[in-house]
Amino acid sequence: MKVTCPHCKSKITAKDIKNINKNRIFIEKQCPSCKEWFCLNKTLTIIKIIGVFLLLITSLLNIFNIKSQYSLVFSSIGFVGILVSVIITFFGKNEAIKK
């Protein structure tokens, strides 16, 4: 798997990345050529959080019977949200194993 550094635009193979910072919300990787830190999974992480929030909000709307005529729509949106989150979580795990 090759990635492009957002700073110097050089192509990096995943195994060339030696330094990984997991102490932040987003996992950061250091580019071996320009030493800049960048994040590959930022978009995925954001989508994952949105997915969880979608489920949370739509569930709350259903529980409190707000706009109950749309409850089926809310359930569907919530389901799609959690489905996306689960898929992304699995992708994230796969990437972590490969390094």
Strand partners, 38: 29
- Min separation Cβ 35 and Zn ion, Å: 7
The residue among 31 and 55 lying less far from Zn ion, judged by its C-beta, is 31
The residue among 32 and 92 lying less far from Zn ion, judged by its C-beta, is 32
Backbone angles phi, psi at 97, to 5 degrees: -70, -40
Strand partners, 37: 30
The residue among 20 and 49 lying less far from Zn ion, judged by its C-beta, is 20
Residues of this chain, 2-31, that bind Zn ion according to CB under 5 A: 5, 7-8, 31
Q: What are the tokens at 26?
A: 């987003």
